[in-house]
């Protein structure tokens, strides 16, 4: 019985190479159900228990509610100038571009690992020409010329019975997803940094306007004090006190200009281009941010915080690594084969009598490797312990970030209320001190102290208002807001949720 008949599919005269191909197809067909349902030696993944309380601490924090992280940044921020700055930052910022490149690298690594599950087919062509020297008894030395031309299709395939290749692919996939979440975290931080820088710009604008107004007022006071001194109705001490008060206000103006320029430089770096912000007071940004921000419950951090999700993907990846390390102890089955033509010259290479084929199944079982496989498994298990601790610490850090933001936001509201009360009292004090001085009932030092305290409190109030707005941005970012997990692909720019 010939191989052609044994195949039982194409009848007599079937070329031997087609028999080999048919056999490989038959083997693949028989193994396919086993591969689809093949075992995996990776430990079952179970998300670690939430290492935080069920609710955020502090009075007035609701236990139930939906986190504001479900709201995209384009809807959270209402200021059009701020929206434009954020959009430009997401398009131009170099950290975002670096993160996108890392995502593309991780995705390519996932594809590389996945390709190992499929047969590898190559087309191979070789040509050999040479001369052999040998002595044949009775015929003397011979020097025949050797020529051989070969064209083949070769195929190789590792049968993944124990899930080693599938676990390696799963690990690469989770590494890719963790990198994607890291990119989302960078984008969220970038949005928060741009918003914070924009609020600082507004703070400096408002404080500068107040300081410049104070400088104008004190210049007029100095002019009056100098004139009083010149006509003999005032003292030189009062004139120098007015001059001191003016100098203090002018120093504040110069410091604010410096801080504003430094902040604009930081915004330029974040946005990736020179920024041109129309002047305006801090109050222009308050209506969109000075609102209640629901924090939801801590378990929502597992869904919306990019760093928490990245840590969980890393944990999933090490579970798959354990499965691959366990499978390395078991036999590996490799199927290789080739079909083609071999001839002494190119003209007859594809003739009917030049066909060649081979089929080589291989089973390899590791017997001795000086403990390398065992050490590799121990390494994977140790990494799982580390990944669990990293995940739990990341969750705890996220919980603390939200709790701190809630505390700051709550306390800043109270500080603003107290400072406004103090400011109203100081304004009345400054008015009364000026009246007493004008009526000759007190020294100018009393006016000096009252105006200095009023100016400082006025500046402090603006700082507190900006800090309160910034605490809302910090809370929004701490909750994982800005982008929902279903981001665009790593080769496309980040877009606001609902605005893609």
DSSP states of 397-426 as a string? Answer: HHHHHHHHHHHHHHHHHHHHHHHHHHHHHH
38: pLDDT strictly greater than 90: no
Cβ within 8 Å of residue 241, ≥6 positions away: 225, 444, 445, 448
CATH of the domain at 237: 1.20.1600.10
What pLDDT score does 347 carry? Answer: 58
Q: What is the arithmetic mean of pLDDT over 489-500?
A: 37
Query: Residue 136 — very low, low, confident or very high, per pLDDT cuts 50/70/90?
Result: low
Range with the lowest mean pLDDT among 149-153, 215-219, 304-308, 435-439? 149-153
For 196-229, how does the pLDDT look when each residue is reduced to its tens digit (9 = 90+)? 999 999 999 999 999 998 898 888 888 888 888 8
Residue 434 vs residue 316, higher pLDDT: 316
Report yes or no on 319 lying in a domain: yes
Report yes or no on 491 lying in a domain: no
**Average pLDDT, whole number, for the chain?**
81
Q: What is the arithmetic mean of pLDDT over 171-195?
A: 94
Report yes or no on 401 lying in a domain: yes
Q: What is the DSSP letter of 370?
A: T
14: pLDDT strictly greater than 90: no
Report yes or no on 209 lying in a domain: yes
What pLDDT score does 389 carry? Answer: 95
What pLDDT score does 349 carry? Answer: 59
Residue 233 vs residue 300, higher pLDDT: 300
Report yes or no on 55 lying in a domain: yes
CA atoms of 401 and 462, how far apart (whole Å): 24
Pairing of strands 134-136, 120-131: unpaired
DSSP states of 175-190 as a string? Answer: HHHHHHHHHHHHHHHH
Residue 496 vs residue 297, higher pLDDT: 297
CA atoms of 350 and 3, how far apart (whole Å): 21
Is 54 in a helix, a strand, or coil?
Answer: coil
CA-closest candidate to residue 350, choices 19, 120, 15, 122 = 15
What pLDDT score does 494 carry? Answer: 40
87: pLDDT strictly greater than 80: yes
Report yes or no on 412 lying in a domain: yes
Q: Which domain holds residue 201?
A: 50-117+163-329+374-478
Residue 348 vs residue 297, higher pLDDT: 297
Query: Residue 385 — very low, low, confident or very high, per pLDDT cuts 50/70/90?
Result: very high
251: pLDDT strictly greater than 90: yes
Query: Residue 18 — very low, low, confident or very high, per pLDDT cuts 50/70/90?
Result: very low
312: pLDDT strictly greater than 80: yes
What pLDDT score does 444 carry? Answer: 75
Cβ within 8 Å of residue 282, ≥6 positions away: 199, 202, 203, 205, 206, 462, 465, 466, 469
What pLDDT score does 234 carry? Answer: 77
- What does pTM read for this prediction? 0.79
Q: How many domains does the chain have?
A: 1
End-to-end, the C-alpha distance of the chain in Å comes to: 67
25: pLDDT strictly greater than 50: no
What CA–CA distances, in Å, run from 83 to 57, 142, 204, 265, 471? 32, 87, 20, 19, 18
Contact 373, 325 (CB under 8 A): yes
Q: What is the arithmetic mean of pLDDT over 57-69?
A: 68
């Amino acid at each position: 019985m010939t191989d052609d008949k044994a195949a039982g599919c194409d009848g007599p005269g079937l070329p031997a190479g087609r028999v080999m191909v048919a056999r490989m197809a038959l083997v693949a067909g028989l193994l396919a159900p086993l591969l689809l349902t093949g075992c995996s030696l990776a430990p079952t993944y179970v998300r670690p228990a939430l290492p935080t309380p069920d609710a955020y601490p502090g009075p007035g924090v609701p236990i139930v509610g939906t986190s504001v992280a479900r709201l995209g940044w384009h809807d959270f921020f209402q200021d059009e100038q701020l929206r434009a700055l954020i959009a430009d930052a997401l398009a131009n910022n170099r950290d975002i571009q670096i993160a996108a490149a890392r995502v593309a690298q991780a995705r390519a690594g996932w594809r590389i690992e996945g390709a190992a599950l499929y047969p590898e087919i190559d087309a191979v062509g070789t040509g050999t020409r040479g001369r052999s020297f040998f002595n044949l008894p009775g015929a003397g030395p011979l020097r025949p010329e050797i020529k051989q031309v070969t064209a083949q299709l070769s195929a190789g395939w590792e049968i993944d019975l124990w899930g080693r290749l599938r676990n390696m692919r799963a690990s690469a996939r989770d590494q890719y997803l963790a990198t994607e979440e890291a990119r989302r975290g960078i984008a969220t931080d970038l949005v928060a940094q741009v918003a914070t820088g924009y609020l600082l710009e507004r703070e400096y604008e408002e404080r500068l306007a107040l300081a410049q107004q104070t400088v104008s007022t004190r210049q007029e006071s100095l002019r009056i004090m100098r004139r009083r001194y010149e006509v003999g109705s005032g003292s030189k001490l009062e004139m120098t006190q007015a001059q001191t008060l003016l100098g203090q206000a002018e120093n504040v103006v110069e410091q604010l200009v410096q801080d504003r320029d430094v902040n604009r430089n930081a915004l330029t770096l974040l946005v990736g281009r020179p920024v041109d912000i129309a002047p305006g007071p801090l109050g222009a940004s308050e209506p969109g941010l000075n609102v209640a921000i629901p924090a939801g419950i801590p378990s929502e951090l597992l869904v919306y915080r990019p760093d928490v999700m990245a840590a969980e993907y890393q944990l999933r990846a090490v579970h798959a690594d354990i499965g691959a390390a366990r499978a390395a102890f078991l036999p590996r089955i490799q199927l290789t084969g080739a079909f083609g033509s071999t001839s002494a010259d190119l003209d007859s290479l594809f003739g009917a009598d030049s066909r060649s084929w081979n089929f080589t199944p291989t089973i390899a079982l590791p017997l001795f490797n000086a403990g390398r496989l065992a050490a590799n498994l121990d390494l994977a298990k140790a990494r799982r312990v580390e990944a669990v601790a990293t995940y739990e610490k990341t969750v705890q850090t996220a919980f603390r970030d939200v709790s701190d933001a809630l505390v700051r936001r709550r306390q800043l509201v109270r500080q603003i209320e107290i400072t406004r009360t103090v400011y109203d009292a100081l304004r009345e004090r400054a008015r009364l001190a000026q009246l007493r001085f004008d009526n000759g009932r007190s020294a100018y030092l009393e006016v000096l102290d009252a105006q200095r305290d009023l100016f400082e409190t006025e500046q402090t109030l603006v700082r507190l208002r900006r800090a309160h707005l910034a605490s809302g941005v910090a809370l929004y970012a701490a909750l994982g807001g800005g982008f929902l997990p279903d981001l665009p692909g790593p080769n496309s720019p980040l877009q606001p949720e609902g605005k893609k």
